[in-house]
Amino acid sequence: MTARKPESPAAAELGIAEQVALYQREFPTVDPQVETIVSTLSRLARRMNVAYGRQLAVLGITSAEWEVLKALVFAGSPYRLGPGELAKRLGLTPAAMTHRIDRMVGDGLVTRDRDESNRVRVIIELTETGRDKWLELMRMAAVFEADLLQDIVGEERSALSATLGRMLRRIEQSQPDALGRTEDLA
């Protein structure tokens, strides 16, 4: 008796066309073109998240920590924010933000100090190690993204960018709270 090779997760997953055909079987009025686009975008987003997660793991940081690093970089030099402002930007509770910052201070990615001009206020600041991790991940992501988009050039890129931008604006207008916490889904 020969051992059967386990199937890869991708092999076990239905192809997009098969998935859409099953949708049509169970819900005949579904628009196959719309379902093909939405299913493809969903699968692409999941796979991109896995790829980014692997890059983060190589650097020894989590996606939650990446979000904090990114928020501090976006704040601009000297890359400092109060924990309340960080929590607000990331859609987190203050307690969740405190827990995240505790880990990051321990890992040397950020510092937490009292504001010299207002001793009650705490300041979270990006360290050189944190900035180096952010830059390294940006380099890794740039290589991955260039490879991902290598077959889409010129006007196709412009058209894709414009189309995805319109889709994003539509969902942001119809679901303005989609970025933050989703208490209504619990």
Strands 80-81 and 110-115 turn out to be unpaired
**pLDDT of amino acid 124:** 97
Helix axes 32-59, 16-26, angle to 10 degrees: 130
CB of 80 closer than 8 Å to CB of 123: yes
The one-letter code for the residue type at 64 is A
- pLDDT value of residue 118: 80
Asked if 94 contacts 84 with a C-beta cutoff of 8 angstroms, the reply is yes
Closest CA to 86 of 117, 123, 54: 123
Supply the pTM of this predicted model. Answer: 0.78
**Paired residues of 126 in beta bridges:** 110
**One pLDDT digit (tens) per residue for the chain, 186 residues:** 555 555 555 668 899 999 999 999 999 999 999 999 999 999 999 999 999 999 999 999 999 999 999 999 999 999 999 999 999 999 889 899 999 999 999 999 999 998 788 878 899 999 999 999 999 999 999 999 999 999 999 999 999 999 999 999 998 889 887 665 445 444
